[in-house]
Structure 1
């Protein structure tokens, strides 16, 4: 079973993504803030990380930068309500985010990206 770490502080978004991804057979671990997310990533070494940008304690950009520095083969999808802001998109790409999904998102967009990255994940 492919492991995904979801780092998101918005309860409704967590419930939606957890339901959607568990239904597809993924093993989901959830962190509600940046510090928990970083610890969960280190403890589980998942095939994929999905993180919000705006989080308590550490931002999704900080988490992505850390992951890409220490394990560049782990794909990271960033969720953002700020998705249309050019600066956010540029920052995400510059630090190595593999994909950005704007909130609100569609089920098909999430599943397409998750399936792509988990099928092409490191061995």
Structure 2
């Protein structure tokens, strides 16, 4: 049996659908340059360019995690929610398309993807 690789578990799907991320009434992100990451066992996640995120609304968290398929992630928080977003600044080679992009925890914020 071969070892599981990121290609077996994860697929990346760039698209131009408008993606907006809301924290209550505050717009945290607005992008038409998302990459949807689909990973077995997890809901699809929209990775948005940092330039499309209102970084002034986020604070760096102390949380750091490691994924054997994506690499090391750093996290961001809001004043009232820890770890609302994460980012792979230098992901593993297979995941280069998500480098520097942020994904959001849709159990805390509203991630709206417009139909295309």
Structure with more helix by fraction: 1
- Give the structure-2-normalised TM-score: 0.28
Structure with more strand by fraction: 2
- Give the structure-1-normalised TM-score: 0.27
Larger radius of gyration: 2
